[in-house]
Structure 1
Amino acid sequence: MGVRVVRISRENAAEAAQLIRAQASPPPDIIEAVEEIVKAVRREGDDALIRLAEQFDGVHLSRDELVSTMEEAREAYEAAPSKLILAMKRLRQRLLTFEKRLYKRLVLNIGSEGTRIEIRPAPLESVGCYAPGGSASYPSTVLMMGVPGSIAGVRRLTLATPPRKNEQDRRTVLAASYIAGFSEVLWSGGAQAIAALAYGTATVRSVKKIIGPGNRYVLEAKRVVSRDVAVDFAAGPTELLVVVDSSTPFRQAALEMAAQAEHSPDTLVGALALDSESEAGVLESLSDLLKELPHYSPASTSLRSRGFVCTADGWDAASRFIEALAPEHLLIYAETGRKRLRDIRSVGVVSYGRNASGVFLDYYAGPSHVLPTDGWASIRGGLTVLDYVKLLPTVRPSKIALRRAYREMRELILAEGLPLHLKALEEAAMF
């Protein structure tokens, strides 16, 4: 079948996770290629974007076709099939509900000794959002990135996505960008799009921050330009780990694995079995499912070349493996795992129970499906409205508070050897 089987113990859990993760590292030729593409865009500007669109996407663009306005997006929205528009609006509403509740929690007002302290979210001036394209269009990702940016109040939201050969795909993306609240659409993909957002061209305006998922080239380009512009986090090829035991609906678990593997041949998808019976069950279901898939489909290719099934000798070993792997998506069907959710921290998102579903997370739940990969789930969660703002404290001190600060902080200021700090505080307190 091609799916690897790995035995996990408490002692080798971290090492096993590292070995599985090692195959996802970008090869040196990608690193070198991205450096050259970024240099070309900085040097040639629009000409490089046009040339690379033809080279990589097979689409010839004029300079005027590089960027679409929201007027063009509105026309695409008005002409789109009503059922598609309804589905996108329903997703938008769920995102609005979730992100608005989070946004309201960001404002903090404190009053003490007459001092007024407020911490409020201040929107970034401009954000560039990258949505993958190529073999598929992802209007859902367009919405996942545009809606929180609109809630945050970002003045200029630029969507960058590969140019489409198919006019219907192109118009679907435009319609989604209109619903999501974008300001403009840049028809450029891969590393060249990231470079254009970071440094600008004659046609493309640079942004303050770049967010969004993509392939290895996009991931590497974000790393390269992070020297000059803010980026969100590593959001590369999809990752999924399902935790199973003998009570698991194995066909459903196998379908969830195939669904995430469907994104591209370089996804990282696996199962973690808690006993030999569940190992056999998930392997059998995967084997049956692979027989149904076209041999050279992205899902089949990914599962055969990169898929894995691990068997842990207990929950302690299983949780250590999960923490070390830090997968983007974690589905917990196993009853033991459902009872031990507090043990799990290093994942992008968790769905648990007999009805656990990654596809539900992708399209309906509410939290963004733009999630950390490549181990980044050990230090942060998925995209939210927080990624579009900075938290800005504002303070209006009272005389009472200034005098107390002078008395209580005097020795600390002197210990740090900053007499002018003390002098300034004294003057403010006594003025």
Structure 2
Amino acid sequence: MSREIIQQITLRGLRGLQRVEKDVREIIEAVRTRGDEALLEFTRKFDYVELDPNVMRADREDFEAAYRSVRPEEIRALKRAASNIKRFHKNQLQRIRFEQTMGGVTLGVVARPISSIGIYTPGGKTAYPSSILMCAIPAKVAGVERIIACSPPSPQSRFNPHILVASEIAGVSEIYSIGGAQAVAAMAYGTASIKPVEKIVGPGNVYVTVAKQLLSRHISVDLPAGPSEILIIADEHADPKFIAADLLAQAEHDENAQCILLTTSERIGGEVKRILDQTLASSTPSPVSRVALEKSGLIAVVHDLQEAARLSNEIAPEHLVIMTRDPGSVFKAIRNAGLVFLGKYSPVAVGDYSAGTNHVLPTGGYARTYSGLSVRDFIKTIGYVRCSKTGLRRLARETATLAEIEGFQAHSNSIKVRGIL
């Protein structure tokens, strides 16, 4: 794979951001200064919906109507997924707290939740109730008291019923029919109808991403999450049908989705290309999938699995799938990835929906420095120290000495005054 191709892939996170920054700044300022009036104006302009300010927030009737329109098996699927997500994220929380005691000195860390968060969940061409589960449940597990959500309306409906049902299952306190950069600004600054929150999470389009970046000096935000990405590492033992299916699955997310196969086998690469070409020639794939694969699809034959792992680390994909005879050995070489799927029976779709891991993941190469959304995003850790007299005596001399080296005599005296030295 050429250096030019790698550079083009690794710079993907910058595409389109500067193009919309001026517009997003204007939207943010309008919401900050004009509040609800600006929200209604932008909803009319971008969503083609004339919204009544008194019905921006979902009420009990909206939820009851949503439950009537969502099929029982869909509600059961949402509840099962929610249960798995809750279980996984509870385990994360248990690993954050600890305490150690040695020689009269006790050190520890406790977790305290953020008091309020806002979730952005996309509307666009389709709605994503799974994103509500992925954002709200870890916050609920962390102990966040107020969880609100914003999702754009459509000309057909103020609220998507699946979004409302998922919101109630996940424990969302308030949900508003507002979308785009204006929703992010409203959650950050507050309006007459929407009280501000302390942190904003959730994926969105380029306008939402830029709004979160611009507002990050004013409010805490989560990771940069843009168009979906998949990178598959495969050897000659992989099943090309599975590979093609996983590439197509991610391609249907977004026209800018990135779909890459790195394989050590020319046979596997050729067979995957044949299946994809055959599928694209049929009426099966969506127009979105066609555009994504034509624009950002790539199959590359590499020398060995070590080279595949090295290239994957440079690209730092959102989703990494390892379909090799021994996926665990390849995984040991992986440093940069949002979420890794090991083996041929671990499709990305289970991580997207039901396994329990979080699907809000860093894209655009940000997996080099960011992790996926977790309970840690909704808590602050507070360390504590408790010394007995014996414990302080054990630490006193080096503490006083180091303080005096740095010229802080009062620090040293705060030890001596306790009659320890």
In which range does the TM-score fall when normalised by the shorter chain? Answer: over 0.9
CA deviation map 1:273-314 (0-9, x unaligned): 213222212211211121124687111111111211222122
Question: Would you say 1:26 and 2:9 are equivalent positions?
Answer: no
1:226 aligns with 2:216: yes
Change (3 A) 1:69 1:413: farther
Q: Distance in 2 between matches of 1:58 and 1:334?
A: 48
Among 47, 50, 61, which residue is 2:51 paired with? 61
> Alpha-carbon deviation of 1:75?
5.8
After superposition, give the CA deviation of every residue in 1:163-197 in whole Å (9 maximum; x if it has no partner): 23344962221111000001101221121111111
Deviation at 1:389, TM superposition (A): 0.6
Paired residues of 1:127 and 1:156 also in contact (CA < 8 A): yes
Match among 153, 156, 161 for residue 143 of structure 2: 153
How far apart, in 2, do the equivalents of 1:54 and 1:422 lie?
Answer: 65
The aligned counterpart of 1:206 is 196
Shift of 1:316: 2.6
Match of residue 384 from structure 1: 374
Note the 1:185-200 alignment, pairs <5 A: 185-200=175-190
CA gap 1:377/1:278 in 2 versus in 1, 3 angstroms: same
User: Which one-letter code corresponds to 1:149 in the other structure?
Assistant: A
SS of residue in 2 equivalent to 1:340: helix
DSSP 3-state at the match of 1:332? strand
Quote the Cα distance in structure 1 between the aligned partners of 2:117 and 2:197. Answer: 5
Who is 1:142 aligned against? Answer: 132
- Give the partner amino acid of 2:6: A
Q: Is the 8 A contact 1:123 1:390 kept in 2?
A: yes
The one of 249, 256, 260 aligned to 1:259: 249
SS at match of 1:67: coil
Measured in 2, the distance between the counterparts of 1:61 and 1:405 equals 64
With the length of structure 2 as denominator, give the TM-score of the two structures.
Answer: 0.94
CA contact (8 A) 1:141 1:369 kept: yes
CA RMSD between the two structures: 2.1
- Give distance in 2, aligned partners of 1:280 and 1:322: 20
Task: Give structure 1 stretches of 5+ with no counterpart.
Answer: 1-6
Further displaced range: 296-305 or 106-115: 106-115
AA of the residue aligned to 1:375: G
Matched residue of 2:38: which SS? helix
* TM superposition shift of 1:315: 2.2
Q: Which amino acid aligns with 2:138?
A: P
**1:31-430 equivalence runs, <5 A:** 31-69=21-59, 72-73=62-63, 76-77=66-67, 80-167=70-157, 170-293=160-283, 297-335=287-325, 337-428=327-418, 430=420
- Residue 48 of structure 1 aligns to a residue in which SS? helix
Paired with 1:271 and 1:169, the residues of 2 have a C-alpha distance of 38
| Structure 2: tracts of 5 or more residues without a match | none
Identity of aligned residues (%): 34
TM-score between the two structures when normalised by the length of structure 1: 0.92
1:96 alignment partner, SS class: helix
Write out per-residue CA displacement over residues 242-297 of structure 1, whole angstroms, 9 at most, x where no aligned residue: 12233222122112111111111111111112132222122112111211246871
SS in 1 for 2:150: strand
User: Per-residue deviation at 1:70?
Assistant: 6.3
**Is the contact made by 1:157 and 1:183 (CA closer than 8 Å) also made in structure 2?**
yes
